[in-house]
Amino acid sequence: MGLAPEGGEGGDGLTGYIVHHLTHNTKQFAFGTVHMDSWIVALALGLLSCLWLWYYARKATSGVPGKGQAFVELVVEFVDSQVKDTFHGDRRFIAPLALTIFVWVVFMNTMDLLPLDIPSAAVQAVAGTEVMHHTYLRWVPTADVNTTFAMSITVFLLIIYYSIKAKGGWGFTKELFTAPFHAEGTVAKIVLAIPNLFLNLVEYLSKPVSLGMRLFGNMYAGELVFMLIAGLFASWVTFIPGVIFNSVWAIFHILIILLQAFIFMVLTVVYLAMAHEHH
């Protein structure tokens, strides 16, 4: 599944091979550095997932569905049932959001199953080995912490929006200072206001951190295992064992891909449901 380890910025052999494949294709802007590979691949996969859903929605018939339509309907019904069991308010926005998150994250995670040496091999075939060593492309967006945190921060903003929508601006602010420790009397409320605010801030901030780090950590680890297998079994002598190890890990990794997408979707819905509830 991998080519022979080549020298990279981190040195020769396996170390250089891994360092090369862990390096992002970046571009400097006035506001900072952007990982162009993660951004472009995530955007392309997002458009592809929308196109995939739109295509089968447009072709949907009331008769016996084809395999493609049946599979899409199965995914939509599965996500809708999860939302229905968790979120008890108006689901007209939450259900499509959950479906988008699930499908998009699955698409991004699935990039980890593609041979990681395809970009290097393509560049080497066209431009030569020297150019390949200075050309980077990490095509698993969810193995980039910037991608997962961007998604989790968006969820965090939705949590704040639904909290204010359900409780009002004053109700939301009041809850920050009066929960979870409720008190009677002005003095007790003042004394507990700072601890309540601190605990609420920790609770709110821990949600995007846990969402982003969980998805990133699992996908980064999976990507790194593929690199180690490709690097350790790179010679022609160990090619067959490398294929076997890669295949076994890929089969197991399919479960991780689907599970992490499911967890991210479910936790998003749970967090929004918690924000929507009055306390």
Residues marked active site are found at 210, 214, 218
Q: Is 255 exposed, middle or buried (0-12, 13-18, 19+ CB in 10 A)?
A: exposed
Please name the amino acid found at residue 70.
A
In sequence order, the β-bridge partners of residue 32 are 29
Establish how many alpha carbons lie within 13 A of residue 27's alpha carbon, considering only the half-sphere containing its beta carbon: 7
Q: Identify whether the C-beta of residue 249 lies closer than 8 Å to the C-beta of residue 229.
A: yes
Whole-angstrom distance, CA of residue 65 vs CA of residue 67: 7
> Residue 10: exposed, middle, or buried by beta-carbon count in 10 A (0-12, 13-18, 19+)?
middle
Angle between helices 239-276 and 94-110 (to 10 degrees): 160
